[in-house]
Structure 1
Amino acid sequence: MNIRLAADADRMEIARLHTESWRDAYRAILPAALLDETLAPIMAERWADQPIGPSDAVLVAEEGGALSGFAASWDGDPVYIDNLHVAAAARSRGIGRRLLAGTARHFLAIGRRKALLHVVASNSRARALYLALGGRPDGIEDKNLYGTVVPNERIEWDDLGLLLERATA
């Protein structure tokens, strides 16, 4: 498996992975019409137009020429980890950890030290990963996901070095 920076040619595959991941993870909390009918075009448009700055990091996991996961993070203080998605067939193989390690490495190299993300509060699998990697819960806030209000937990890292250390242990 290869972890690398995404290229423009990866955008539609990222959109497909993003859509499939939402369909799998959020089936119980988002409307079927959104997941089955409107989400794919929304994600295709989002990723076609998503600006990626020179210090942002969109990383992909590639296996045998196909993408099996991606992480998208935006530079700032703190860094915002916007997305981490792994294909259902590729889960529990450390891909998410490797993508987060690459993210931490990227931002540490440009002098960033802190990061945060929001995770759907009912996504216990993702939440457990973030806590195992040293993330600290910092409250619940409602987020509007295309018309459905969903509780999200804020997870913070005061030290990206800890995230890198735990993700590579």
Structure 2
Amino acid sequence: MIRKATWADAPAIASVHVESWKTTYSGIVPDAYLETLSVREKQPLWEKVLSESDHSLFVAEENGRVVGFVSGGRNRATEGPIAKYDGELYAIYLRKEVQRKGLGRQLVQALVGDLAQKGVRSMVVWVLADNPSRGFYERLGGENIAQEEVEIGGKPLLEWCYGWKDIQMMKP
């Protein structure tokens, strides 16, 4: 089941966030950094996000348990070619055991529908180039439109930006 997130979901969202980082980015992001991630640290972040009306946040539930989430809103880029896109998918994470079952696509569809109602017509997402799930965005029709170097845990990493000029044309 996909539904809008509520304030009560903040601990579960934080848990999925931390667990997903640890499983997805192991071997990519320094282990020392991953070991510092905690639900206690992330929960206030998600409580803040849930209090922002311009933020779209949906959860995926399986057997009454939150197993994934997606968040998005207006594009945070203010200059350059990426700034011409209206919206941004800020984060999407699923517990490892529920990946590759279609929940990610359902979450993105919920986000796109919500953003479209808010007047968003195009969208970007930033993804670590070494992320093993990067192909997910390509299968949705995203085009690699930019890249930049970021630093996580003291390690330089490459991020790719995928864009959709028309979110209504995303591959279901």
TM-score higher than 0.5: yes
Q: How is 1:8-157 mapped onto 2 (pairs within 5 angstroms)?
A: 8-36=7-35, 38-40=36-38, 41-50=40-49, 52-76=51-75, 78-125=86-133, 127-157=134-164
Give the % identical residues: 27
CA RMSD of aligned residues (A): 1.6
Aligned 8 A contact 1:4 1:60 in 2 = yes
Shift of 1:52: 4.5
Q: TM-score, normalised by structure 1?
A: 0.88
Q: Is the 8 A contact 1:57 1:73 kept in 2?
A: yes
Q: Secondary structure at the match of 2:20?
A: helix
Partners of 2:57 and 2:20 lie apart in 1 by 16
TM-score (norm 2): 0.87
Deviations 1:16-41, CA, capped at 9 Å, x for gaps: 100010001111122222212x2114
Question: Number of residues paired by the alignment?
Answer: 162
> Which residue in the other structure is 2:82 paired with?
none
* CA–CA distance in structure 1, aligned partners of residues 33 and 44 of structure 2: 15
Deviations 1:121-162 (A, max 9, x none): 01132x211111111101221123354332100000100101
Q: Tell me the distance in 2 between the aligned counterparts of 1:133 and 1:52.
A: 29
1:45-77 Cα offsets, whole Å, 9 max, x none, are 422333643232111001111011100102345
Cα distance in 2 for partners of 1:52, 1:97 equals: 25
Q: Is the 8 A contact 2:30 2:153 kept in 1?
A: no
Give me the whole-angstrom Cα distance separating, in 2, the residues matched to 1:56 and 1:119: 19
**Contact 1:133-1:162 within 8 A present in 2 as well:** no
The secondary structure found in structure 2 opposite 1:149 is: strand
Unaligned runs of 5+ in 1: none
| Structure 2 residues without counterparts, runs of 5 or longer | 76-84
Supply the AA of the counterpart residue of 2:155: T
Check the 8 A contact 2:6/2:50 in 1, yes or no. no
State how far apart, in whole Å, the 2-side matches of 1:146 and 1:5 are: 32
**Corresponding position of 2:78:** none
